[in-house]
Amino acid sequence: MNNIAIIFAGGSGTRLVNSENKIPKQFLKIYGKPIIIYTLQLFEEHSLIDKIYIAIHPDYYDFAKDLVKRYHIAKVAGVVKGGASSQESIYNALKLAQSENSNDDIVLIHDGVRPNITSEVITKNIECARKNGNAITCTSCFETILVSENSKNPDHVPCRKNTYRAQAPQTFKLGEIISAHDEIRKINPNYNDIVDSCTLFHALKKDTYMAEGNRGNIKITTIEDLYILRALIRYKEDMEVFGRE
């Protein structure tokens, strides 16, 4: 049974794109290295990951393939062009993976702009998916969560001890996640309100299971996230040096 990483990076990163910076956020460099390469190297270096498939923004397809070669990401088995939404991009990569692998293989679906997961989180996802059929990376919430329909007044304040933040990777058996996509595409072809694979499964009333994540597993969305990522990378490098001394 293969363990396959599906890395989706088909977006244009509009929150970080401005008149001075027009490159999608997945290609922005931190300490001289593109964000997506930090992400890919986490899966490349993990002993349980067998293959990687990437869904990339169509305008950067050749550029992404060149990056994979330049940084020697040897486990990449295929690169596909992304679609109109993140879910369509994921679907494109899943279909390529399905054409070359077994439906019983495990797929870890991960944002190209979440470059700070730990090796332990990847392992926990694989173990949970093998045991339960799937795994959703989560961390418990420190803040109070408000639910509001009008964005002005809270309609519901759930008990904080029962709230979690879903992150990535989100992990499934290859055949099951593709079947879920096929079901949704029949009734909701544009993936309206489907923000991730967990949402997709729940829209179909399918059970999901949680795997504990790490709190540094941020998604790069705003300029503030870039500052945080720089600090996290420097902290990890300092800890590695300290550990060797």
Rg from Cα positions in the chain: 18
What was the pLDDT predicted at 245?
Answer: 46
- Residue 244 pLDDT level (bands cut at 50, 70, 90): low
Residue 146 in this model has a pLDDT that exceeds 70: yes
Confidence of residue 19 (pLDDT cuts 50, 70, 90): very low
Residue 23 has pLDDT above 70, yes or no: yes
Q: At 240, give phi and psi (nearest 5°).
A: -65, -40
Alpha-carbon gap, residue 3 to 224, rounded angstroms: 33
- 242: pLDDT strictly greater than 70: no
Report pLDDT digits (tens) over 172-213: 999 999 999 999 999 999 999 999 999 999 999 999 999 999
- The residues near 69 (Cβ < 8 Å, ≥ 6 apart) are none
What burial class does residue 156 get, using C-beta atoms within 10 Å of its C-beta: 0-12 exposed, 13-18 middle, 19+ buried? exposed
Mean pLDDT of the chain: 92
Q: How far is the C-alpha of 113 from the C-alpha of 221, rounded, in Å? A: 8
166 pLDDT above the threshold of 60:
yes
Rounded Cα–Cα distance for residues 111 and 98 (Å): 19
pLDDT of the residue at 15: 54
Average pLDDT, stretch 103-110?
98
Q: How confident is the model at residue 12 (pLDDT cuts 50, 70, 90)?
A: low
Closest CA relative to residue 112, chosen from 175, 168, 65: 168
Calculate the CA dihedral of residues 113, 118, 122, 127 and round it to 10 degrees: -150
Question: What pLDDT does 133 receive?
Answer: 97
Mean pLDDT, residues 141-167? 93
Q: What whole-number percentage of the chain has pLDDT above 70?
A: 93
Please state whether the predicted TM-score (pTM) of the whole model is above 0.85.
yes
Query: What per-residue confidence (pLDDT) applies to 13?
Result: 54
